[in-house]
Amino acid sequence: MSGSRLSVVTGWVGVAVVLSLLLPADPALARGKRRRAARPEAVWLSADDLVVHDDGSTELRLAPGQRAVLSPGPPADLLDVETLVLPVRSLAPAGSPPSQLELRILSATGAMHWRPVEVAWTTPGRVEIPLGLTRAGTEGPVSDWSHVSGIELFARNGALLAVGAPRLVGGDRPGAAWTSVDQVALAAFGPRPVRRTPGPVLGVVTDVADADVEALQALADEVSGVLDRLLPGVPPPCGPAIFILTADRDGWFDAMDRVTMAMGGNLQPANGGGLTLQGIAAVGWDPELAEARPVIAHELAHALLDRRCWMPDDIGWLDEAVAVRVQLHLHPQEGLTEEMRGWKRAPLARVLDGGRVPRGSYWQAVTVLEMLRRHERYAGHWPALLEAIRSRGSADLRPLVQPVLGVDMEELEADWERWVEEQPAPGPLPPP
């Protein structure tokens, strides 16, 4: 061994090890406010600190909270890669507990996808990670898989491992890194036959015999067009969203829970008629409303916004405001203006803090969105505000009000109060 870095080059990636401390990740998957931890600067280990085995694997000793980065060098495009294979085995003494790890796929854009991994075997083995069944990180935009810059192992507990060079396996379809309808169908419904319809904008998985899949995909096209109008400058979709429609009206949660488990996570309890996570939406079937059920439009907006790959998976008030605005465009509510003016109001700073929107305050989020888009004082700043939200990786509006909009929170709230009293509730958008 020589030089300051250890690099065992095999095809796409060389093995180079970096160690630093991180807080343990939150294992729960749920829409809402997430804990964030500053990512420390990594420090390269000297090659003299590492052991290379006869099979070319690198010995890693990780304390709880430490991470090892397997760096490929220049960012790589993994869009057509379906599976990441990592040779790994435990070197821990007999009787030691399994190593609890997170395998993280890093992007030069700041995105991260990850998957929990448990290693207990001591003979040569490997883990195989389908990219489409990894979980999005809490910081940076959702990955579009085109700028992957490294692979990281994060130790939840202590680990002594022998790790080989990662290997990439291509898929049999373009864009194989994206979650497929087949992966979702198997996770949500098991081996029983269900309808699986891929699409460039929306794939549909359903056990509803009467569902009009083409109508759902056409609705997704319409919703995507509304997103373009609401969010100027936000990039086009980087991959297809997926929609799960369950024959059981209340079966959507169980279906999404099983998808989450297939990603190695667990789903927090949720209320309402549907749920969206990482560009995958789930709603139950209502035979009377069919494809015109308002919650379908709402969850499609969430899923298609996730697939814009410009922000983290959850962007708080803006995420909910856009979904409600799309829903009211397609399904306006008669009498909503007067009802809305009498509803309880949370402090606007709380609604706009970038975390989970308080129960009963979605109407506040959508009316703030309308004011920022249309009010003569704010409309000219709307594209710049969206760009500021993107660059910060957070929809917390509080630090952006003064530098971008030129007002403070008190002024913004006063303008919003007047807007609500003077303007009708959101309804159909005017023709473009």
Q: How far apart are CA 17 and CA 68, in angstroms?
A: 6
Query: How far, in Å, are 3, 65, 87, 183, 337 from residue 69 at the CA level?
Result: 18, 13, 15, 28, 54
CATH superfamily of 8-170: Galactose-binding lectin (2.60.120.430)
What is the SS3 assignment for the chain? Answer: CCCCCCCEEECCEEECCEEEECCCCCCEECCCCCCCCCCCCCEECCHHHCEECCCCCEEEEECCCEEEEECCCCCECCCCEEEEEEEEEECCCCCCCCEEEEEEEEECCCCEEEEEEEECCCCCCEEEEEHHHCEECCCCCCCCCCCEEEEEEEECCCEEEEECCCEEEECCCCCCCCCCHHHHHHHHHCCCCCEEECCCCEEEEECCCCCCHHHHHHHHHHHHHHHHHHCCCCCCCCCCEEEEEECCCCCHHHHHHHHHHHCCCEECCCCCCEEEECCEEEEECCCCCHHHCHHHHHHHHHHHHHCCCCCCCCCHHHHHHHHHHHHHHHCCCCCHHHHHHCCCCCCHHHHCCCCCCCCCCHHHHHHHHHHHHHCCCCHHHHHHHHHHHHHHCCCCCCCCHHHHHCCCHHHHHHHHHHHHHHCCCCCCCCCC
Amino acid type, 58: T
Do 71 and 149 meet the contact criterion of CB atoms below 8 Å apart? yes
Do 50 and 95 meet the contact criterion of CB atoms below 8 Å apart? no
Query: Per residue of the chain (432 residues), what is the pLDDT tens digit?
Result: 222 222 222 233 334 444 433 322 333 333 333 333 333 333 333 344 455 666 767 888 888 998 888 765 677 889 999 999 989 999 999 899 999 999 999 888 888 899 999 999 999 999 999 999 999 887 667 788 988 888 888 999 989 999 888 888 998 889 999 999 999 999 999 999 999 999 999 999 999 999 999 999 999 999 999 999 999 999 999 999 999 999 999 999 999 999 999 999 888 888 789 999 999 999 999 999 999 999 999 999 999 999 998 876 567 899 999 999 999 999 999 999 999 999 999 999 999 999 989 989 999 999 999 999 999 999 999 999 999 998 888 899 999 999 999 999 999 999 999 999 999 999 999 998
Ramachandran sector of residue 411 (left: φ over 0; alpha: ψ -120 to 50; beta: rest): alpha
User: pTM value?
Assistant: 0.86
C-alpha dihedral (262, 196, 252, 319), degrees to nearest 10 = 80
Amino acid type, 93: P
Query: How far, in Å, are 112, 214, 301, 356 from residue 272 at the CA level?
Result: 29, 25, 15, 15
* CATH 3.40.30.160 corresponds to the domain 179-314: yes
Do 322 and 305 meet the contact criterion of CB atoms below 8 Å apart? yes
Q: How far apart are CA 131 and CA 142, in angstroms?
A: 13
Q: Where are the domains of the chain?
A: 8-170, 179-314, 315-432
Question: Going edge to edge, which strands form the sheet with 195-197?
Answer: 195-197, 202-206, 241-246, 280-284, 274-277
54: tokens are 């006869």
Using the CB atoms, write b or e for 75-101: b if 16+ within 10 Å: ebebbebbbbebbbbbbbeeeeeebbb
pLDDT value, residue 429: 97
Of 418, 373, 381, give the one whose Cα is nearest residue 401. 381
Residues 6+ apart with CB under 8 A from 193: none
The structure tokens 């080989």 sit at 164
Q: Regarding beta strands 43-44 and 99-107, do their DSSP bridges make them parallel or antiparallel, or are they unpaired?
A: unpaired
